[in-house]
């Protein structure tokens, strides 16, 4: 059963299975959720199930399924952004296939990855296809933020939110993937926030405890250290800056949690002890907002080192305010 590849989303799977079994498949779906949530896996399984030769059980064994998971299915087309956008030329090329009969399965299936990056021209071109969708074609759009898609396109799609995984499912997923201690597991669960891809990204190459300690150290240095520019230069060289910033956010959330509710995962308090005199709850909230805002700016093509220097200066100001007569909670 290929549906088992989609873990912990029983309701979503049920909806898709029922659509196939009752013949109520629509021409366009939009799966949406954050990076790493599993949109591509769901699209791959759904596409395979739609074209499986054993319609009722989605076998994973038939020639169609084997091709779907081997990445070379003549009727399943993955369309990724070229550069930063999905372009009208790509939609035009897609259209040529959309009107052909499928060769191996029942449908020609088009999976548009990062659909929100479609240019206006591409979206308009897609809209024309969606309005007169050929009987044997299905379009699966994947997006992090559906609000960035034109309403006209959204209105043609069945919207499917991909939910985060619950703690038990995440725990099973992590333990199946790597051997971790209970303290590491707790950190990964908190850092990944129900997003399996985020956990996976770190599991293979990172020591989470070291990562957490590094994040603590950065928050100490940002306030007490003299050399903000040197710290920024060091961070700019980090190959995993995204994860590091996420971990700093996790440390700040831990501080906030401790200062407001007095609860923290086992062993974590000792690790953030050095920060308690520096960061009060208000400062943590401010710092979290600053980092989230800078994370978005860092997605655009800017000078990373200068951006980090600015970010660290902001954090320093926030942290120093706390030390200059702030109101510790």
Binding site for Zn ion (CB under 5 A): 52, 59, 62, 65
Q: At what angle do helices 241-261 and 228-236 cross, to 10 degrees?
A: 120
CB of 111 to Zn ion, least distance (A): 18
C-alpha to C-alpha distance for 73 and 126, rounded to whole angstroms: 22
Please, which residue, 54 or 181, has the CB nearer to Zn ion? 54
- Closer Cβ to Zn ion, 19 or 59, answer by number: 59
- Give me the least distance between CB of 34 and Zn ion, in Å please: 30
Please identify, using beta-carbon distances, which residue of 68 and 228 lies nearer to Zn ion.
68
Distance (Å, whole) CA 110 – CA 192 = 30
In whole angstroms, how close is the CB of 48 to Zn ion at the nearest point?
Answer: 7
Nearest-approach distance from CB 71 to Zn ion, in angstroms: 15
Cα–Cα distance, 248 to 213 (Å, whole number): 10
Measured from the Cβ of residue 79, the count of other Cβ atoms closer than 10 Å reads: 21
Nearer to Zn ion (CB atom), residue 65 or residue 94:
65
Nearer to Zn ion, 52 or 252 (CB): 52
Q: How many CA atoms lie within 13 A of 134 on its CB side?
A: 17
The C-alpha atoms of residue 162 and residue 159 are separated, in whole angstroms, by: 10
Residue 20 or 178 with smaller CB distance to Zn ion:
20
Cβ distance to Zn ion smaller for residue 62 or 220: 62
Q: Give the nearest distance from C-beta 141 to Zn ion in angstroms.
A: 24
Nearer to Zn ion, 33 or 105 (CB): 105
Tokens of 180: 């971790």
- Residue 173 C-beta: closest distance to Zn ion, Å: 25
Cα–Cα distances (Å) from 225 to 246, 287, 306, 307, 316, in that order, read 21, 17, 17, 18, 9
Give Cα separations from 33 to 40, 61, 138 (angstroms).
Answer: 11, 29, 20
Residue ranges of the alpha helices (H) in the chain?
A: 10-22, 39-51, 63-70, 88-98, 120-131, 151-154, 167-177, 182-192, 196-203, 208-224, 228-236, 241-261, 268-272, 281-297, 304-323
Supply the minimum distance, in Å, between the C-beta of residue 273 and Zn ion. 55
| CA distances to 204, 208, 209 from 200, in Å | 7, 12, 16
Distance CA 271, CA 165 (A): 27
Tell me the sheet residues that pair with 86: 118
Joined tokens for residue 277: 């005199």
Closer Cβ to Zn ion, 62 or 136, answer by number: 62
């Amino acid at each position: 059963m290929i549906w088992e590849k989609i873990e912990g989303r029983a309701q979503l799977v049920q909806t898709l299975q029922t659509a196939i079994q009752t013949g109520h498949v629509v021409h366009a779906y939009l799966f949406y959720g954050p990076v790493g949530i599993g949109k591509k896996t769901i699209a791959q399984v759904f596409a395979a199930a739609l074209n499986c030769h054993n319609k009722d059980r989605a076998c994973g064994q038939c020639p169609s399924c084997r091709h779907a998971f081997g990445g070379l299915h003549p009727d399943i087309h993955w369309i990724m952004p070229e550069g930063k956008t999905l372009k009208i030329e790509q939609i035009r090329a897609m259209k040529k296939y959309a009107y052909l009969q499928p060769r191996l399965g029942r449908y020609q299936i088009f999976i548009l990855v990062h659909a929100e990056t479609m240019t206006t021209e591409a979206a308009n071109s897609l809209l024309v296809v969606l309005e007169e969708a050929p009987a044997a074609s299905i379009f699966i759009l994947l997006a992090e933020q559906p609000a960035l898609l034109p309403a006209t396109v959204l209105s043609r799609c069945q919207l499917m939110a991909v939910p985060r995984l619950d703690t038990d499912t995440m725990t099973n997923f992590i333990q199946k993937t790597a051997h971790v201690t209970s303290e590491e597991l707790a950190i990964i669960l908190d850092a990944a926030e129900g997003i399996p891809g985020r956990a996976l990204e770190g599991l293979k190459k990172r020591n989470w405890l070291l990562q957490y300690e590094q994040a603590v150290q950065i928050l100490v240095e940002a306030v007490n250290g003299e050399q903000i520019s040197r710290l920024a230069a060091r961070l700019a060289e980090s190959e995993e800056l995204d994860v590091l910033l996420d971990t700093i956010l996790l440390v700040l959330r831990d501080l906030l949690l401790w200062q407001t509710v007095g609860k923290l995962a086992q062993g974590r308090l000792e690790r953030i002890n050095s920060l308690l005199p520096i960061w009060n709850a208000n400062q943590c909230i401010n710092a979290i907002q600053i980092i989230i805002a800078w994370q978005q700016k860092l997605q655009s093509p800017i000078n990373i080192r200068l951006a980090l220097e600015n970010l660290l200066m902001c954090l320093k100001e926030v942290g120093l305010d706390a030390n200059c007569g702030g109101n510790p909670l």
